[in-house]
Every structure is written in structure tokens, then in C-alpha cells.
Amino acid sequence: MRAEDPRPVRLAEYRPSDFLIDAVELDVMLDPTATRVTARLRLRPNPAGRDNAALTLDGDDLNLVSAAIDGDPLRVDDLDVSPSSLTIANPPRRPFELTVTTLVDPSANTKLMGLYRSNGAYCTQCEAEGFRRITYFLDRPDVLAVYTIRIEGSEAENPVLLSNGNLVETGAAGEGRHFAVWHDPHPKPSYLFALVAGDLGVVEDQFVTMGGRKVTLKVFVEHGKEDRAVHAMESIKASMRWDEEAFGREYDLDVFMVVAVSYFNMGAMENKGLNVFNDKYVLASPETATDGDYANIEAIIAHEYFHNWTGNRITCRDWFQLCLKEGLTVFRDQEFTADMRSRPVKRISDVRGLRSVQFAEDAGPLAHPVRPEVYAEINNFYTPTVYEKGAEVIRMLKTWIGGDAFRAGMDLYFDRHDGQACTIEQFIACFAEVSGRDFSQFLRWYSQAGTPEVRIATAYDAEARTFTLDAAQSTPATPGQHTKLPVVIPLALGLVGPDGRDMPLVVGGAPAGPVFALTDETTRIVFENVEQRPAPSLFRNFSAPVKVVSDIADDDLLFLAAHDSDPFNRWQAAQTVALRHLVASVAAVRSGREPADEPRLAEALSRAFDPAESDCAYAAQIAALPSEGDVARELGEDVDPDAIHAARGFLKSAMRRRLGPQLLAAYERLAETGPYSPDAASAGRRALKVAALDLLAAGGERDGIARAHALYSGARNMTDRVMALQVLSLHASPEREDALADFARVYGQDPLLLDKWFVIQASAPLPDTIDRVETLMASPGFDIRNPNRVRSLIGTFGAGNPTQFNRPDGRGYAFVAGVVAELNASNPQVAARLLGAFRTWRSLEPQRRGKAEAALRGLADMPRLSADVADIVRRALA
Ligand code: PHE
Ligand code: ZN
């Protein structure tokens, strides 16, 4: 136990701030090691706060230079000051101005929170609690102020000086220095503040909003990378248009800026008018980016832009409400991508992601509600549960009340709460009001952790011509929550007749559905006038984030895989059959038997490679078997990752044997012909091509390996090259080594491409992977201070390599824990994220579980654990 454990923060203990800050003027004198920040804060007592309260401002690692109230300097004994707080016991009980000067050292800031340096530029990251590393402040999201920022710095080193809002003044400041003044008229919480300064290249464009406002768009990148910013720029314009069309939301400043930086803890940040991005999610060119990169950039640009309304104009009252902005904004970016690309493909890949990460989190020791009720370290709650399950909850809400009511509720929310810091209750009240429904039970989605399980039993009565569906829901116990109540589960379904068509749904003599709300522990629905035994298509389009256990036979699922009108469920049906088969195969492998063959699965899969299937991206989803993680989750306990890998490998080889000629034909048919274009249809063709290649190379088949090598060598775009390398990397071969060496030779100097090379090697299911990863960590291209390098190499090894991270000898656990220990002091946020690799450790078979636990206990015993790491280690072990 650490002596200085901070008290956990509890939702139930929320109190309004005793003081408010209406306006902030910051004067920032840039210097690499001693930046001087003078903050003039216009404060007043909060009518909703306590009378005669002391004023305590938050700080983190700050050096106070001076402080004054209304111009009168404060003496040391008027103050109680430390690096982490500044208290004035008896401040004026009327509006007053507090001036505080602090000194910060951006060069020493390795945590990448507050003001820091990235490749010679200055940048800031303030969410969640980084502003307090710049100046003493009421650093909480319910304190909204208007900001005016003056930045001054060396003109040669920082020709570009940026902050939020609109540029109001620039000029010379003498001695080679210059300044810029920015004013943001929209009151905002401190976490949305940003400042960027440096010598950056820029791409400019313009957008005319639906109201006729001309907005200047700028994307800042390192010099020489301007041509890689074009796709990001196009994505900004597409996002702005979409938010107008889909939600009626218009942009509200004269300028919108995106800056790409290479040192960044997360993906990107929605600072008002000045989004700061991890450069990985901005830079793209056909020579350097894959289809996946193009798609990610489009989605993340959209996500951050959409925050302008869901997050910035309406923000969160406190950090427990994080899903108010994140879940909603993820939902919005998912819809954007669905509209820009293929809707079913987007849904399938989101559900794959949700299950592999969020379901895993929900089933392990780090499970928490979409709206947590307590936290020790808020940085650790930027989780798949808050983001992705949070988005599913919004999606269910829409499914439950319908699209029109959903839009009306959103309009009401924007209207009523613009400019406010809100709670989930206020958000939900808008939908209750427009729909007239009672949301009290629905709100349990925000407070109960764990993935609900729905058991479905069905019965057809030919004589009565009824089809009866019995659904039973339950939510497993999770840390701190032992008993659970039923939630509102929207079940979208169809009854598919033998002709492949949906039958009319009649319940109680009247047309019903297609969405049924399961609100009780058990629900029975009796469908009438059912002339023939149907195949039930359940949870169409994944209408609820639940685990479904049904008695539907493989035969019916295979029928649905061919005929269901719902594309999501055609995919799901085949996945379910494959998953059942893999679970049985794992048992066979573990008892030394040969897994059974599954000819009907081959038939289902073969549909993906049929030339008649015109949506290649969709076909590629059909072709992809459940992942090793999917199988592990399905098993739930006593997991042996090697057995899962063997079973899946066996199935892939069986598919190759059965589908060989068809795979080859598809592979050749899909060969690249014209120039590269990252559009969704072309990307889909490449994805399907590599799915065929992956099966052709199953088991290390020579012919498949040779083809992968040929694809690598002849590749005319980065997608083909990287995907070919990925296939090669799965099997030990001379071709593999040749291609890996070639890639390093040609692209090793570009950090983002080096990351791809790291990812491929770190995810290889080969016994020498850990040695390679250790060697790569010591290579010149690796930089432990750069979060992208760390995530690509160590993050991938921990979270993306089930067999090698979970080596039976425990070396994988010890290695990742060692890196966490190394990063604990310099970048606790990144260190804590790496520990996510341990989120399912309790479900492992006993030997591995013991070794994983030992690695975690070793960390727990380390002196001077950061709050971030300590929090995860403790919860993981609790
Ligand atoms: N708010 C960012 C987003 O759009 C994520 C983020 C959180 C970035 C904290 C940096 C720090 O999701
Ligand atoms: Zn976000």
C-alpha cells in the first residue's frame, strides 16, 4: 500500500463548485524549459456553492511565481500552496480577479499531459486533468469560462502560434519574438483548452456551412508531409456536411484546425476549434497508408469534429458523465461511417470490436458500468465500456423509441442544454419527454456493469400454427455489484420461412414487432398464424449488446446464413456455427484428439468467394472466422490459448483443402489492376483478396506462402504490401524473413511505417516472437518515450498475441510487466494502458493464471507506483 493513496472520487459526493470562473486570460511566454504562464481569472462565488468557502485551485507539478487579487500581491502566508494545490482561505465574497504566475518545464514533461514538446513543437493535452499542469485552476468540467490567450515565442522556432477560437491579433514582440492573441467566445471547461506552437506545414481549404458561414479549414503537419494531409482535409469537410444533414448541427467559429503531433497518449483530442491528433490518425498517402489507415482517419476526424456539439457545446458536469460525450459521439461517428461506406460492414466490424474488447472487459476484473460510480484515477476510465458500450446504449435507445423520436430527442437536447455541463439524467429526460416513455429501467444500462446474457428457447406448434419464443435474461455479478436487475433489451427479430422470406409477425391477433422489448427476467412471445416452422433471426443488426445463447440448431443457422434478409445476421449465423465448432475442436485438441471436419461451414464460407457477391468488404467479413479471442470468451474459463490457436489453425487448413480452387480463383480475380484508390469498394476487394490469401497460406502451405511473397514483392500500394507481410508473418519461412528485412530496409526511417513493422512482428504466433520484440525494443528506431512505438511493439504483443503473451513459461507476462514498471514514472497513462493485456487473466487455465498473477503481484509490490498503474493493478488483483 502506498502511503499517499488519494481518496477515491465518488459520483454520490458531487457538489457544485464554490466558485465559478467567467473569463480566463492566459499569457504564455514560451521557453523550452521555463515557460512562464500568467493567468488572470475572473472569479465569483457560485450561488449554488457553500457560503464562506475557501478557494482551492487544482495544480499538478506546478511552480508558483506570484499571485495577486485585484492587483494586490498575495503574501506567502495568505496562501496555502503546493505543487498540487493553491488555497486562499478567505477570498473576496464578490467577483474578483486572481492573477497567478507559474513556471512550467515542457521539455521535462514526459507524461504528455499539460504543456509538452513533440518533435520540437509545443503542444498541450488537457483532458481530463492536464490544465492543472499549466496553471492553478478550478480544473473541473462544470466550470465554464471564456478564454483569451496570448502566446509569445521565438519567431524562428515557432512561426505558428495557435490556440482555441478566432485569431484576433498578431505582432512582433522584440528580440526575435512574436505573439498571437486568440479569443474563444464559447464558454468551455479547461479540458478543452489547447495551445500549439512550432514550425509546421499547413494545408488550407474552406467550408461553407448550411447557414452560409465561411469557415477556414487548416491541417497542420510536419514540413514535407503536407501531401499526406489531403485525406484528413477531405474527411473534415465530409464530417461537417454530415453533421448538418444528419443532426442539423452547424460549425460555430471562423476557423477549424487540426494539428498532427507525433507524441500523443491517445488517438486525438477535440479541443475547441483546435483538434490535436496523434499523427497516425492524420497522415495518409497511397505510398504510406493502408486502407485501414484511410478508414481510421476518416472516422477519427469525424469523431473529434462531432464532439463540437456533443462534448463541447454541451459538456459533462463531472467525469462520471464521460459517456455523455463519448458514447454519444462514438455512436455519431459510427453512423457517419455507415453512411459513407457500407452500413452492414461497419456494423459487423463494430460488433467484432465490441465483443473482442468490451465484452472481454465486462467479463473480467476491470468491469465497470458505462457510467462508473467511483474512480481512483479518471485516466483509466477512457475504456471500451464508456466508449463502445456507451455507443451501444444510444443505439438501443434509438431502436427502442424509433428514429423520429430519437432525432426529436436529440434536437431537444441541443436546444435545451446548449452551453451547459450536463448529466446522463438530463440527456435521457429529453428522450423520455419526446417519446412519452418511462426510462427509469432503461437507465440501468448506465449503472449495471457486465454483459447481459439472453437465453432463448423456441417451439413451433404445427397444429396451433404458433411459434413460441421464451427469453430469459440475466447479468452476471461484477466487481462491487453482486445482484443485478433486468434491463430493457430491444430484441429485433424476424421469422424466416422456408422460402427465405420474412413471415408477417402477429401477436395477440395484431401485427407486432419487429422490435420487442424484453423488460422482465423472462418474456414469452407467442407468434400466431405461423404456417410453417420458421428459422428465427434474433437480435437483427445486433439490436442489443448482449450475449445470446439460443437453442437454434446449426441447420437453421446455416439456412439463415444463406437467406436472412438482415445482412448482419447472415454474417452472425455463420459465425455462431463456426464458434460452436471451434469450441468443440478446442476440447478435442486438449484431449489429444483430432478436431472434427465441418463441410457445411466450408459451404457457408464459400459464399464469400462467389463472384456473384458484389459487396467484397461484406464478403471479407463472411470469410473471416471467429478470432482466438472470440473462442476464449466463449469458453470463459480454463482457457488454453495454444489449444485455441491449434483448433483455429486446423479449421483454416480444412477450409483451404475444401475451397482451394475457389480461393485461388477469387485471389486471381481480385488482383489489383488500376491505380490505387482508398475508396470503400476498392478497399473491400483488397480485404477479400487477402482473406483468400490467408486461407491459401493456412498451415504454412508452400503455394500460399509463395503467393504472399509475390504479392509483397509486386505490391503497388501499402495495403497489399502490409497485408501480404501480415500473412507471411504467421508462419516461419525464408520468404517471411526476406520480406521483413526488405520492409525495414525500404521503410524503416518512417516512424509510422516502422510501427506497422513492429505490429506485424509483435503479433506473430511464433515461439521466438518474444526474443524479437526484446531485440526490437533495443533497436535505434524504438523510443520508449513515444506512445505509438510502445503501443505498436509492446501493446500489440500484450493485447494482440494470445499465444505468445500467454506463453506457458510466463515470460510474456513478466516482459509486459517489466515495460509497465519502466514506464510507470515517465508516462503512467501509457503504462496503465499496457496493463489492459491482463484484463482476462482470471479466465486462463491454472498454470498460466498463476504466472500472470505473479507478474501482477510483482508490480503491486513496486515502490512509488503511479496512481494510474496502482489503480489497474489493484482492481485486476481484487
Ligand atoms: N476525448 C478524446 C476522444 O475524442 C480522447 C482523449 C481522452 C484524448 C483523454 C486525450 C486524453 O475520445
Ligand atoms: Zn471522443
Q: Which ligand is nearest to the CA of 301?
A: 1
The per-residue pLDDT for 316 is 99
**Is the CB–ligand 1 distance for residue 388 below 6 Å?**
no
* Confidence tier at 3 by pLDDT (50, 70, 90): very low
User: To which H or E segment does residue 335 belong?
Assistant: helix 322-340
Closest CA to 411 of 209, 270, 241, 246: 246
Pick the more confident residue, 235 or 76. 235
**605 exposure class (CB count in 10 Å sphere: 0-12, 13-18, 19+):** buried
155 classed as catalytic: no
Whether 843 shows a pLDDT value over 50: the answer reads yes
Q: Whose CA is closest to atom 2 on ligand 1?
A: 269
Residue 598: phi and psi, rounded to 5, are -140, 80
**Is the CB–ligand 1 distance for residue 392 below 6 Å?**
no
The per-residue pLDDT for 1 is 40
Interval between CA 323 and ligand 2 midpoint (Å): 9
Q: The cell 465441418 sits on which residue? A: 598
Query: What is the CA 800 to chain-centroid distance, rounded?
Result: 15
**Is the CB–ligand 1 distance for residue 377 below 6 Å?**
no
**Is the CB–ligand 1 distance for residue 382 below 6 Å?**
yes
Q: Which ligand is nearest to the CA of 324?
A: 2
- pLDDT by residue (tens digit) across 138-177? 999 999 999 999 999 999 999 999 999 999 999 999 999 9
Cβ contact 102:134 at 8 Å:
yes
Query: What is the CA 568 to chain-centroid distance, rounded?
Result: 22
Distance CA 490, CA 74 (A): 60
- pLDDT by residue (tens digit) across 9-25? 999 999 999 999 999 99
Whether 320 shows a pLDDT value over 80: the answer reads yes
- pLDDT by residue (tens digit) across 49-60? 999 999 999 999
Q: For a pLDDT cut of 70, what percent of the chain falls above it?
A: 99
Cβ contacts of residue 357 below 8 Å, gap of 6+? 384, 388
**Is the CB–ligand 1 distance for residue 269 below 6 Å?**
yes
Q: Whose CA is closest to atom 3 on ligand 1?
A: 269
SS3 552: coil
Interval between CA 328 and ligand 2 midpoint (Å): 9
The per-residue pLDDT for 76 is 79
Q: Write out the three cell numbers for 847.
A: 498454470
Q: The cell 526490437 sits on which residue? A: 776
Closest CA to 427 of 345, 597, 537, 311: 311
From the CA of 307, give the closest atom in ligand 1: 4
Listing DSSP states for 678-704 in one string gives -SHHHHHHHHHHHHHHHHHTGGG-HHH
Q: Which ligand is nearest to the CA of 127?
A: 1
**Is the CB–ligand 1 distance for residue 270 below 6 Å?**
yes
740 residue type, one letter: L
Interval between CA 267 and ligand 2 midpoint (Å): 9
Interval between CA 723 and ligand 2 midpoint (Å): 29
- pLDDT by residue (tens digit) across 780-798? 999 999 999 999 999 999 9
Cβ contacts of residue 632 below 8 Å, gap of 6+? 639, 641, 644, 802, 840, 843
Q: How far is CA 69 from CA 58, 88, 99, 167, 178, in A?
A: 17, 10, 6, 29, 29
From the CA of 326, give the closest atom in ligand 1: 12
**Is the CB–ligand 1 distance for residue 333 below 6 Å?**
no
Distance CA 523, CA 469 (A): 8
- pLDDT by residue (tens digit) across 206-226? 999 999 999 999 999 999 999
Neighbours of 833 (CB within 10 A): 26
Residue 570: phi and psi, rounded to 5, are -60, -45
Interval between CA 757 and ligand 1 midpoint (Å): 26
Q: The cell 477515491 sits on which residue? A: 8
**877 exposure class (CB count in 10 Å sphere: 0-12, 13-18, 19+):** middle
Q: Whose CA is closest to atom 1 on ligand 1?
A: 269
**Is the CB–ligand 1 distance for residue 281 below 6 Å?**
no
Neighbours of 455 (CB within 10 A): 15
Annotated active-site residue in 270, 304, 326, 598 = 304
Interval between CA 265 and ligand 1 midpoint (Å): 9
Around 31, how many Cα atoms within 13 Å sit in the side-chain half-sphere? 11
SS3 58: strand
Mutate which of 382, 387, 827 for ligand 1? The one with the most ligand atoms within 8 Å of its CB, which is: 382
Cβ contact 571:558 at 8 Å:
no
Neighbours of 199 (CB within 10 A): 16
Q: Is the ipTM of this complex over 0.95?
A: yes
Looking at residue 77, the DSSP 8-state letter turns out to be G
Query: Considering the entire predicted model, what is its pTM?
Result: 0.98
Interval between CA 276 and ligand 1 midpoint (Å): 10
SS3 90: coil
Residue 491: phi and psi, rounded to 5, are -110, 110
